[in-house]
Amino acid sequence: MKDALNQQIKQLRNRINDPFTINLHILGQTMNLTIERSEEALYRNAERLINLRYNMYASLYADVRDKNRFAAMTLLDLALMLQRGNEEKSQVVSKLTEITQHITNQLNESLPNE
């Protein structure tokens, strides 16, 4: 299992064409990451989003002392956002396919028969 994980890490590193090292501060932890330079904004935005969500739950439930609970709530919230986004994307693709088919049918009907 460790060999498979090392192989995956090696593949990830090989995919980075323009390496760039950044420090992210997430939930009180500093992470030093080597990323694709073009994705820096994505990582920075993800850092902000995670910290904002975590701090929101920490302030809403100030009487709760379990910091892991806030982290779990944050993870659940972000996972739900991802799933909802995927569902919306699927609905858009389905609607576009339907519209494309309708346009194709209309064009085929308007063409003279040969």
Q: What is the pLDDT of residue 1?
A: 75
pTM over 0.85: no
- Report which of residues 2 and 98 the model is more confident about: 98
The 10s digit of each residue's pLDDT in 57-94 is 999 988 888 888 899 999 999 999 999 988 888 888 88
69 contacts 46 by C-beta, under 8 angstroms = no
Between 16-20, 24-28, 53-57, 84-88, the lowest mean confidence (pLDDT) is in 16-20
- Report which of residues 105 and 52 the model is more confident about: 52
Q: What is the DSSP string of 50-104?
A: HHHHHHHHHHHTTT---HHHHHHHHHHHHHHHHHHHHHHHHHHHHHHHHHHHHHH
Helix (H, G, I), strand (E, B) or coil at 28: coil
